[in-house]
Copies of this chain bind each other. A is one copy, B any other.
Amino acid sequence: MVTGRNENLSGRIRLGMVGGGNDAFIGGVHRIAARLDDKFELVAGALSSTPEKAQASGEALGLARIYDDFKQMAIREARLKSGIEAVSIVTPNHVHYAAAREFLKRGIHVICDKPLTSTLSDAKKLVKAAESSDALFILTHNYTGYPMVRQAQEMVANGDIGTIRVLQVEYPQDWLTEQQDFKQAEWRTDPERSGAGGSTGDIGTHAYNLACFVTGLEAESLAADLQAFVPGRPVDDNAHVMLRFKGGARGMLWCSQVAPGNENALRLRVYGDKGGLEWAQEDPNYLWFTPYGEPKRLITRNGAGAGDAANRISRVPPGHPEGYLEGFANIYSEAAEAIQAHRNGKTPDASVVYPTIQDGLSGVKFVGACVQSAARNSAWVKLD
């Protein structure tokens, strides 16, 4: 009945973590994601930029090896016989490049949170670092780990909606409607640490990545209107973006952190000349499919109508909802399959899919283009 994700059947991958100390939200998410399918074992960490906190956080998690900083960790783990094989980087954006570089150059696989980096310059350097390393680089654009997102991708690829004409993607939230002081909000609205984009970097990149992932389209150019509605906020908290894709499709992207009533409302709609697809992250087990001229159909995770790409990464039967953590875990489990193949000098199966450093570079370019277009009164700006 359930033919999808399996638990670990061979040795677990030894994992380290950079960032993700006590009060960091996303670190905990990465740890659960790594643990869910039992394919990783977290053994080492440099969990904070302050040594005391790094120590305390590492102890609280019962880590075998605790480090003061990521460089020290990279150096020492690389020397150990049973040192970490992979590292999760979950720091604020501006640290991604420096941290990732240290591990890549020592052949340790990197699983990095998005956006790739806070500047385009860092992103390009990181791409080079990855290219000259034998290690794998996985970017956690986690929303591509939802089974019904894979289902949508598969259906587009199969031609089920024909040639794509229109793409609407949006990612509204409301948590920054007012000025916030707590840590999650603070670094995300500081251009030094998060990059020039605010909502564009934090969530716009997810929306952009999702749209490209599902459709297989490449954006050609964009025209953006960015705002910072909350007084004193140095980065955008709302962005309206028009998109032109290679081949002629057109789209719109809206991301906002000031839209009351929206918690995490990432939503994608794609329309072709033969049909349409609609998916919403907050109700992720459903995919709406309308073959043009026929009634709308509700495809459910692991249910009737779901295909191989989605079923492969499902765990429980239809009607038993999987959520955000399961989707995130799918990125980790894809990474695990790729790393296990790498251990054996093999290429992973073609069904193994995860966001790459190129996706990360695209995201950073997207943010840059948004900022540039906005500065030029929404002129069209080329991507790439």
Are B282 and A242 in contact, with the CB atoms below 8 A?
Answer: no
- The listed residue with most B CB atoms (<10 A of its CB), out of A250, A261, A315, is A261
Q: How far is the CB of A143 from chain B (nearest CB, A)?
A: 10
Are A274 and B260 in contact, with the CB atoms below 8 A?
Answer: yes
The residue from B264, B298, B377 contacting A380, defined by CB atoms under 8 A apart: B377
Are B229 and A273 in contact, with the CB atoms below 8 A?
Answer: yes
List B contacts of A285 (CB < 8 A): 282, 323
Q: How far is the CB of A62 from chain B (nearest CB, A)?
A: 7
Q: Is A316 an interface residue (CB 8 A)?
A: yes
List B contacts of A71 (CB < 8 A): none
Q: Is A276 an interface residue (CB 8 A)?
A: yes
Q: Is A279 an interface residue (CB 8 A)?
A: no
Report the interface size for chain A: residues with CB under 8 A from the other chain.
Answer: 96
List B contacts of A70 (CB < 8 A): none
Stretch at the interface among A111-119, A177-185, A211-219, A363-371: A177-185
CB neighbors of B among A134-182 (8 A): 161, 165-166, 168, 170, 172-175, 177-178, 182
Q: How far is the CB of A258 from chain B (nearest CB, A)?
A: 6
CB neighbors of B among A241-285 (8 A): 242, 244, 250-252, 254, 256, 258-265, 269, 271-276, 278, 281-285
Q: How far is the CB of A218 from chain B (nearest CB, A)?
A: 17
> What is the CA–CA distance of A281 and B7 in the complex, to the nearest angstrom?
25
- Encoded as 1 (CB less than 8 Å from any B CB) or 0, chain A from 279 to 322 comes to 00111110011111111111110011100000000011111111
Are A321 and B321 in contact, with the CB atoms below 8 A?
Answer: yes
Q: How far is the CB of A336 from chain B (nearest CB, A)?
A: 14
Q: Is A60 an interface residue (CB 8 A)?
A: yes
> What is the CA–CA distance of A32 and B35 in the complex, to the nearest angstrom?
9
List B contacts of A323 (CB < 8 A): 285, 320-323, 325-326
Q: Is A28 an interface residue (CB 8 A)?
A: yes
Are B261 and A276 in contact, with the CB atoms below 8 A?
Answer: yes
CB neighbors of B among A166-213 (8 A): 166, 168, 170, 172-175, 177-178, 182, 184
Q: How far is the CB of A41 from chain B (nearest CB, A)?
A: 11
List B contacts of A303 (CB < 8 A): 263, 295
Q: Is A223 an interface residue (CB 8 A)?
A: yes
The residue from B244, B254, B317 contacting A168, defined by CB atoms under 8 A apart: B254
Q: How far is the CB of A208 from chain B (nearest CB, A)?
A: 16
List B contacts of A281 (CB < 8 A): 319, 321
Q: Is A38 an interface residue (CB 8 A)?
A: yes
Q: Is A225 an interface residue (CB 8 A)?
A: yes
The residue from B9, B28, B271, B318 contacting A7, defined by CB atoms under 8 A apart: B28
> What is the CA–CA distance of A260 and B242 in the complex, to the nearest angstrom?
20
Q: Is A31 an interface residue (CB 8 A)?
A: yes
Q: How far is the CB of A233 from chain B (nearest CB, A)?
A: 12
Are A229 and B322 in contact, with the CB atoms below 8 A?
Answer: no
Q: Is A238 an interface residue (CB 8 A)?
A: yes
Q: List 20 A-B contacts (CB under 8 A).
A: A2-B25, A7-B61, A8-B62, A25-B316, A32-B315, A35-B35, A161-B260, A166-B258, A175-B317, A223-B223, A240-B250, A256-B271, A259-B276, A261-B276, A261-B288, A261-B296, A284-B321, A293-B304, A295-B300, A323-B323
Sorted from nearest, which 3 A-B pairs have the closest CB atoms? A263-B319, A264-B319, A261-B290
Given contacts A223-B242, A260-B291, 11 further A-B contacts (CB under 8 A): A2-B25, A174-B276, A242-B378, A258-B273, A260-B274, A263-B300, A282-B285, A293-B304, A295-B297, A295-B303, A377-B380
